[in-house]
Chain A
Amino acid sequence: MRELTKAEETLLLAVMRLKNNAYGVAIKRHIQKSTGKALPYGTLYFILEQLTKKGFVKRFSGEPIPERGGRSRIYYILTPEGSRALEYAYKMQQKIWNGYPEMTWWKKTGK
């Protein structure tokens, strides 16, 4: 299984959390809220397309609505491969970070 990049991970998690409401604006706001970073739409969509290609998310468009100037919202939804990838990433994360808090003594003593 290919590893996810940090940005892909963040986006995939956002799509998962937003469930049926995962489209551009919502994803962007969610990420801004949770990480404090503003992700430009260009980057956002680029990563989402990568994810679509890898098969981790699926894309579908909703009804055209006036707020978007008659354009459809593009929704993303997590695929089983996507959730497996997240799970894998989570486990890897844990393995890598295992025992981290105990090792922070040098921080307190200031070396």
Chain B
Amino acid sequence: MKRTNPPKFAERILSILSFSSKIGILGDTEEEYRLILSKKGRFKADMWYVWQILKPLPFYIRSTIYWSYAMFKSYLKIGIRNLKKFKSFTFINITGLSIGIACTLLIALFIKNELSYDRFHHKLDNIYRLSSNWHKPDGSVVRYGSVPIPMGPLIKEYFVDDIRFFARVCTMEFTVRRGDFLENLDVTLTDEAFFKLFTFPLLNGNPSHVLSSLNSVVLSEILAKRYFGNENPLGKRLTLIMGEYRDDFIVSAVANDPPNNSSINYSLLININCLGSFRREDFLSNWNVTSPNWQTFIEVMDSNSPRRITNGLPQFTKLYISDQDQSFTLQRMRDIHFDQSDTGTPDLTKIYILSAIAFFILLTAVINFVTISVGNASYRFREIGIRKLVGAKRKQLMGQFWIESIFITAVAVFLAVMIARVLLPVFNTFTNKSLVYSDILSPSNIAVLFLFTMIVGISVGSYPAFILSKFKPFDLFKGKQSLSGKNSFTRILVIMQFSLSIILIVVVIGLSRQIRFILNDDYGFNRENVIIVETHKREVEPGERLYEKFRNRLLNQADIIRMSSASGSFDKVGIGRFLYNGHDYKTSYMRVNFDYFKTIELDLVEGRDFSHKISSDMQALVVNESLVQTLGLKKAVGTQIRYHSRIFTIIGVVRDSRIYGIDTLTKMHRYNKNMAEHRTLPALYYINPIIPLRYILIKISPYHLSETLDRIRAAWTELEPDKPFSWSFLEEDIEAQVLDENRWKNIVLYSSLLAVFVACLGVFGLTSISVARRVKEIGIRKVHGATVSNVVGLLTKEFIKWVILANVIAWPAAWYVLHKWLQNYAYRIGISPAFFMIAAFSMVSVVLLTTSALTIKAALANPADSLRYE
């Protein structure tokens, strides 16, 4: 059958375009369509119908835009008038929102950066990292993101059909010399395939060959600029020095700097096989050592390869490792950034905490916005009533509120971008990131911000829009409706704000106490005025010689009180084993020099210190109290133990002192429950030069500090022109362990300040609304003899009640958060009730301060003024 009616979609369009009498127009058009159809045929009829649609279209569009623009203009005009009229509310809303949005913006940037880690590699899905699993006797498994160095080439040979490339990525510290310029640098040792595997573009040179020669070096852009300025670095010479050995390298290419969302960082790359030039060939064949700094990556052939490799790995492992405790697995490149087994990876929980805080600040601001617009609406009853009387539909009233809130949000977003821009450097130092301003205003972000403005604007405007547009105009005029801070919705919102602020305050107090505790705890030695100089020596003889020369050069000078040297320094001490009575014990060990204990003022409790005069002291040990305790010795002095396949005799016992920083202790604690339960570990000290001296300790007098330092530096450059002078104060090294903690404390501190500030803005707004609403009530009360304090009490009672309730809610949550946080530390403070008291007290006083200005003003007002109209 032939179609006799017009096309359906055309009819639909026509129906949208028809303003008046839809049925009539549609019917008539169809009837006429049929007439034309029967006379002139389908084509003509269809054309006619289309014409019917097209003809009114321009008019339709014009009028729609015109009227909606007119309406929009009116909404905006009235909205802006309202904003001007209620300046303090506008200020509160915009300030709160912009702070909240700025925080969210920064956190969003942070998270975006975190989530974008390593995503820029083209071959991302084919790149895997080899990692080791250590099966401990108690059944648990510890994973490290690294495997022994020799594994790379061997595994590639073994799975020749499944692995396309492999690249080991190891970092080691070298001294780099370019002319007179000297610095210590973490050098990346890798394999030829590095630039083929990873997407790190080269500015010049062929990715396949730049590292094939053993003495070629690839520089990052920054480094090339630092060493060569504007010269062309290609073909230029650099000297790398490690310990006593050195070799010349020729720059073969310059690579783009690694992006700030890369897990692999480099500044200077060399071929790992050149280690031979530094007499460190042993690294390339040592199966017994793994370190987080030595990673191995492979690129697989196809999607089935990972499975085949995983199945074949046990077989492969058996060829090289007899140890049953160790096995290897593949790990997707995609996952490594968030792998907790690595050092230096971000703690996901911290990201959660950050986002939660930002979200809560934003939420607080939004809550303020809602409570204030609802509370403030009583001022606008007349406006709404008249609008209704004149015939405004509910939709139109809601449009008014929406336009206002979207306008405010838009202003706030604009300000937020400014704030975020100003805060970005601070935020970067807090989070150890290098985000830049252009990240904020990327096209995708602008789109998100626009969407965000609409969503926040509409959702914030919705509550007042729905509530207020519901009332009947008559009630509005009679003032029957009361919308106030009294309804339960507002109450819940305000209590939520308070609770959040209290939780943050408690956490800040707890964190700063913990930091103070870590720093001020008894370390067992005197950290003051001790300078630590690194020797950069990796072998025994040169270290001894350097120290002797250095000592002779400096010791008799003024302001230099004492000197010694050691194989380790605070938080940089090795752990080894010794034998006693046939049992194996773990201990920290340090090769020290004469005067070591005197230099750091570590007291002997038993026996004596090492002495120049007694030659048998080469086989002597000084141990700490923990070691004595571990061995259960009654009388320590004279006891013999076997260490480094020699017999040593204990000649003295020193006090327990702190050897490791809290991070190291915590890690030991996590991996080995038996160890590090205490803040100190067994430790032994000897003077036998078995291992190189890495650190020189100089106790100086606190006067003429810079002159003394200059003299030490001069001595260094004279004796070691090849090595940079790297030094620090022992006190600095101790403070360095809480760097991260301090950063976190500051983040929480500032965000809690912001949260409290935004919450106070809300309280201020609510107070002014309730004061305005109760002007008459206050007047009547005063007439009946109420005192100023009565009235103030009346007005603040409610808020104080809320704060107390908020405390009750917040305390368990705060306790939980703080408790969880403190679990991260090997030793920690107890959570004291004082934290909660301080938080509660400060919250109450802040609320009282915020409200006092308004309430006292209201209480002092003359009742004659407020009751004038009655």
Contacts and interface: CB of A to CB of B under 8 A. Distances in A.
A41 B25 contact: yes
B556 interface: no
Nearest to A61: B23
Interface stretch (B29-37, B438-446, B706-714, B795-803): B29-37
B55 interface: yes
A69 B56 contact: no
B27 A69 contact: yes
Interface stretch (A13-21, A22-30, A98-106): A22-30
Contacts of B29: 41
Contacts of A45: 20-21, 24-25
B34 to A, nearest CB: 6
Given A45-B20, A46-B20, A74 B55 contact: no
Interface string B39-57: 0000000000000100110
Given A46-B19, A46-B20, A41 B28 contact: yes
A42 B30 contact: no
A24 B28 contact: yes
Interface string A56-92: 0000010000011101111000000000000000000
Contacts of B27: 24, 68-69, 71-74
B27 to A, nearest CB: 4
Contacts of B31: 24-25, 67-68, 73
Interface residues of B, number: 22
B28 A49 contact: no
Contacts of B25: 24, 41-42, 45
A25 B18 CA distance: 16
A48 B5 CA distance: 26
A49 B56 CA distance: 18
A75 B20 CA distance: 15
A68 B19 contact: no
A33 to B, nearest CB: 14
B20 A23 contact: no
A49 B639 CA distance: 115
Contact of B34 (A67, A72, A73): A67
B34 A74 contact: no
Contact of B28 (A25, A46, A61): A25
B849 interface: no
Contacts of B18: 41-42
A15 to B, nearest CB: 14
Contacts of B34: 67
B26 interface: yes
A67 B19 contact: no
Specify which of A24, A68, A71 lies most central, judged by the most chain B CB atoms within 10 Å of its CB.
A68
A74 B5 contact: no
A40 interface: yes
B143 to A, nearest CB: 71
Contacts of B30: 67-69, 71
B209 to A, nearest CB: 75
B21 A74 contact: yes
A40 B55 contact: yes
B28 A69 contact: no
A71 B23 contact: yes
Contacts of B56: 40, 42
Interface string B312-325: 00000000000000
A2 B34 CA distance: 39
B20 A72 contact: no
A30 to B, nearest CB: 13
A25 B21 CA distance: 14
A111 to B, nearest CB: 39
Contacts of A24: 24-25, 27-28, 31
A70 to B, nearest CB: 9
Contacts of A41: 18, 24-25, 28-29, 52
Contacts of A68: 26-28, 30-31
A10 B19 CA distance: 21
Contacts of B20: 42, 45-46, 49
Contacts of A49: 20-21
Contacts of A40: 52, 55-56
A42 B19 contact: yes
9 contacts: A25-B32, A42-B18, A61-B23, A67-B31, A69-B5, A69-B27, A71-B26, A71-B30, A74-B24
Given A28-B32, A45-B21, A73-B27, 16 more contacts: A23-B24, A23-B28, A24-B24, A41-B18, A41-B24, A41-B29, A45-B24, A45-B25, A48-B21, A67-B34, A68-B27, A68-B30, A71-B23, A71-B27, A72-B23, A74-B23
Which 5 interchain pairs have the tightest Cβ spacing?
A: A24-B28, A71-B27, A68-B27, A74-B24, A45-B21
